[in-house]
């Protein structure tokens, strides 16, 4: 690492904030965001000071502070480098900032957004290894346009993997590789053109609406109860496609009961409809044996949609759809029109990651991490707000907290934000955006144990019964 300019560090000399504080904050941010990676060497305090117009002593103090915090390591003779612990589970974590306040954005002490995996655990090294391996070994033909359905190596790997871990009934020729679940959903709906698409309520309603729009279809919301989707209510709609999350309902966490699964497949058969099974966080189960996919029970009726957005990182934009054979050509045509196929180097890298066992190793590591965070959330709520009922904990990295009757959940969310804690109402996932019954969806994937403990303690009084 050469000079301060390469780190994009700038200091504001007009405001009241000390230059040392700015330098510290800038370096922390560079490490958290990955611009400075473990092992990167920082400029000497003399060079950094000269670049930024600071005394060498100020830079030294700043390096000492960040060394004490664990971001940096100082070694005699080799200068100051970014600590290895500053990546992965030991990362001093990013706490997002919220807008507002009079002196700039207040610092969030804890944020609980649902659906975000631990970004500090994104498998940077494994991904870099896989991409490098592909670039070193793939034949020239791998860099040509390819089959819009995906590269054969990944389609084979995914079919075998999903057969093994998700009891999916698939061969490679049924697998589409796409840019995440959202694209898979949209392409299948373009191929099927069902006219009306049903989705779970609460559920991923905004995603279903966006995907349906591209096929000219309308969306109807169908209620979910504690057995999963209400199939009798579904049958009263004119839908010819339905988006479901049977293994871990999004966001309630309910597992679809066997009788509902059976009824859903009967409905699909009788209606000549397609079931879009969103298997979004299947990799992370804690209490139960894995729940097999619906697709495995009816491969001619069900599309299994998967993604690496939870298992690796959303930014990779990689997912798949396992298709009934009769839909393969139409979906391939839609994918060809959309983008001619997902980036082949990324596809090959994912195949290498899975094939080498690194994908499973990564999952084992992060699963243990999420289990610790889940325990921390349950314990913090039990200690500080025992009246709150927590559910949906069997899988994934979010839970649902039912608040005492009469709680105004929107007020709770607003007050918590004033205290620097990001809470999210389940109303965001309801078709009518209703805040009642009052529930919060607690995502804990990207929230450290410490943040969970401090964050829950800071808002516990808001979660207790009023009066």
Ligand X SMILES: Cc1ncc(COP(=O)(O)O)c(C=O)c1O
CB-based burial label for 246 (10 Å; 0-12, 13-18, 19+): buried
Residue range at the interface with ligand X (CB under 6 A); choices 66-74, 174-182, 209-217, 443-451: 174-182
Q: Which of residues 36, 66, 170, 181 is near ligand X by CB under 6 A?
A: 181
Total residues at interface with ligand X (CB under 6 A) = 13
Q: Which of residues 307, 347, 407, 425 is near ligand X by CB under 6 A?
A: 307
Shortest spacing between CB 317 and ligand X, in angstroms: 7
Strand partners, 391: 400
Interaction pattern, residues 230-259, with ligand X; x per rule: CB under 6 A? ---------------x----x---------
Residue range at the interface with ligand X (CB under 6 A); choices 129-137, 177-185, 291-299, 363-371: 177-185
- Asked if 180 is part of the footprint of ligand X (rule: CB under 6 A), the reply reads yes
- Asked if 122 is part of the footprint of ligand X (rule: CB under 6 A), the reply reads no
- Minimal CA–CA distance to 187: which of 241, 145, 249, 234? 241
Shortest spacing between CB 134 and ligand X, in angstroms: 22
How far is residue 379's CA from residue 7's CA, in Å, rounded to a whole number?
40
Q: Quick one: 280 or 444, whose CB is closer to ligand X?
A: 280
Q: Which of residues 204, 231, 244, 366 is near ligand X by CB under 6 A?
A: 204
How far is residue 382's CA from residue 374's CA, in Å, rounded to a whole number?
12
Helix (H) or strand (E) holding 338: helix 328-339
Q: Quick one: 49 or 184, whose CB is closer to ligand X?
A: 184
Contact status, residue 377 vs residue 399, Cβ threshold 8 Å: yes
DSSP assignment of 111-125: E--TT---GGG--HH
Q: Quick one: 250 or 397, whose CB is closer to ligand X?
A: 250
Shortest spacing between CB 204 and ligand X, in angstroms: 4
Which 3 state secondary structure label does DSSP give 29?
Answer: helix
Q: Quick one: 182 or 440, whose CB is closer to ligand X?
A: 182
What are the structure tokens assigned to 173, written together? 């020729």
Residue range at the interface with ligand X (CB under 6 A); choices 180-188, 227-235, 365-373, 437-445: 180-188
Q: Which of residues 115, 194, 202, 427 is near ligand X by CB under 6 A?
A: 115
Interaction pattern, residues 73-112, with ligand X; x per rule: CB under 6 A? ----------------------------------------
- Asked if 309 is part of the footprint of ligand X (rule: CB under 6 A), the reply reads yes
Q: Count other Cβ atoms within 10 Å, centred on residue 461.
A: 10
Q: Quick one: 31 or 247, whose CB is closer to ligand X?
A: 247
- Residues 279, 283, 289, 290, CA torsion sign: positive
How far is residue 282's CA from residue 162's CA, in Å, rounded to a whole number?
11
Contact status, residue 4 vs residue 51, Cβ threshold 8 Å: yes
Contact status, residue 142 vs residue 344, Cβ threshold 8 Å: yes
How far is residue 278's CA from residue 154's CA, in Å, rounded to a whole number?
20
- Asked if 446 is part of the footprint of ligand X (rule: CB under 6 A), the reply reads no
Shortest spacing between CB 8 and ligand X, in angstroms: 28
Residue range at the interface with ligand X (CB under 6 A); choices 18-26, 229-237, 306-314, 415-423: 306-314
Q: Which of residues 280, 284, 442, 444 is near ligand X by CB under 6 A?
A: 280
- Asked if 49 is part of the footprint of ligand X (rule: CB under 6 A), the reply reads no
How far is residue 60's CA from residue 48's CA, in Å, rounded to a whole number?
10
* Residue 181 CA, distance from chain mean position: 11
| DSSP-H helix ranges across 142-283 | 152-166, 181-192, 205-213, 231-235, 258-271
- Residues 451, 455, 458, 461, CA torsion sign: negative
Q: Quick one: 63 or 359, whose CB is closer to ligand X?
A: 359
Q: Quick one: 290 or 406, whose CB is closer to ligand X?
A: 290
Q: Quick one: 43 or 445, whose CB is closer to ligand X?
A: 445
Q: Quick one: 246 or 420, whose CB is closer to ligand X?
A: 246
Contact status, residue 41 vs residue 73, Cβ threshold 8 Å: no
DSSP assignment of 62-99: HHHHHHHTTSEEEETTTEEEE-GGGSGGG------B-S
Interaction pattern, residues 312-341, with ligand X; x per rule: CB under 6 A? --x----x----------------------
Q: Quick one: 292 or 314, whose CB is closer to ligand X?
A: 314
User: Using CB under 6 A as the criterion, which residues of the chain lie in contact with ligand X when the complex forms?
Assistant: 115, 180-182, 204, 245, 250, 278, 280, 307, 309, 314, 319
């Amino acid at each position: 690492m050469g000079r301060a300019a390469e780190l994009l560090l700038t200091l504001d000399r007009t405001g009241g904030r000390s230059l040392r504080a700015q330098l510290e904050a800038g370096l922390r941010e560079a490490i958290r965001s990955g611009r400075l990676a473990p092992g990167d060497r920082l400029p000497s305090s003399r060079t950094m000071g000269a670049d930024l117009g600071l005394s060498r002593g100020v830079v030294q103090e700043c390096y000492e502070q960040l060394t004490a915090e664990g971001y940096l390591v100082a070694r005699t003779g080799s200068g100051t480098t970014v600590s290895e612990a500053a990546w992965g589970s030991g990362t001093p974590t990013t706490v997002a900032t919220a807008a507002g306040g009079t002196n700039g954005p207040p610092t969030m002490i804890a944020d609980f957004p649902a659906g975000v995996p631990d970004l500090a655990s994104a498998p940077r090294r494994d991904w870099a290894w896989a991409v490098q391996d592909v670039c070193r070994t793939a034949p020239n033909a791998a860099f040509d346009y390819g089959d819009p359905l995906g590269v054969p190596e990944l389609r084979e790997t995914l079919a075998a993997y999903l057969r093994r871990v998700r009891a999916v009934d698939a061969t490679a020729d049924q697998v589409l590789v796409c840019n995440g679940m959202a694209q898979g959903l949209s392409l299948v709906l373009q191929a099927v053109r069902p006219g009306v698409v049903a989705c779970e309520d609460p559920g991923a309603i905004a995603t279903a609406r966006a995907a349906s729009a591209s096929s000219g279809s309308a969306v109807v919301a169908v209620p979910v109860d504690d057995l999963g989707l209400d199939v009798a209510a579904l049958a009263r709609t004119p839908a010819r496609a339905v988006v479901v999350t049977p293994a871990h309902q999004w966001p309630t966490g309910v597992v679809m009961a066997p009788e509902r699964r059976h009824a859903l497949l009967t409905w699909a058969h009788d209606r000549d409809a397609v079931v879009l099974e969103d298997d979004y966080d299947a990799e992370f189960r804690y209490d139960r044996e894995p729940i097999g996919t619906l697709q495995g029970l009816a491969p001619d009726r069900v599309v299994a949609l998967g993604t690496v957005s939870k298992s690796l990182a959303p930014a990779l934009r990689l997912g798949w759809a396992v298709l009934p054979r009769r839909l393969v050509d139409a979906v391939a045509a839609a994918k060809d029109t959309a983008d001619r196929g997902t980036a082949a180097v990324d596809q090959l890298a994912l195949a290498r990651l899975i094939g080498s066992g690194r994908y499973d190793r990564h999952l084992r590591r992060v699963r243990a991490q999420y289990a610790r965070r889940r325990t921390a959330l349950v314990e913090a709520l039990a200690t500080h707000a025992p009246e709150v009922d927590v559910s949906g904990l069997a899988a994934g990295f979010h839970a649902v907290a039912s608040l005492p009757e009469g709680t105004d959940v929107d007020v709770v969310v607003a007050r918590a934000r004033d205290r620097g804690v990001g809470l999210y109402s389940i109303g965001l996932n309801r078709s009518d955006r209703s805040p009642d019954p009052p529930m919060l969806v607690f995502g804990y994937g990207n929230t450290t144990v410490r943040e969970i403990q401090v964050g829950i303690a800071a808002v516990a009084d808001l979660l207790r019964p009023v009066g």
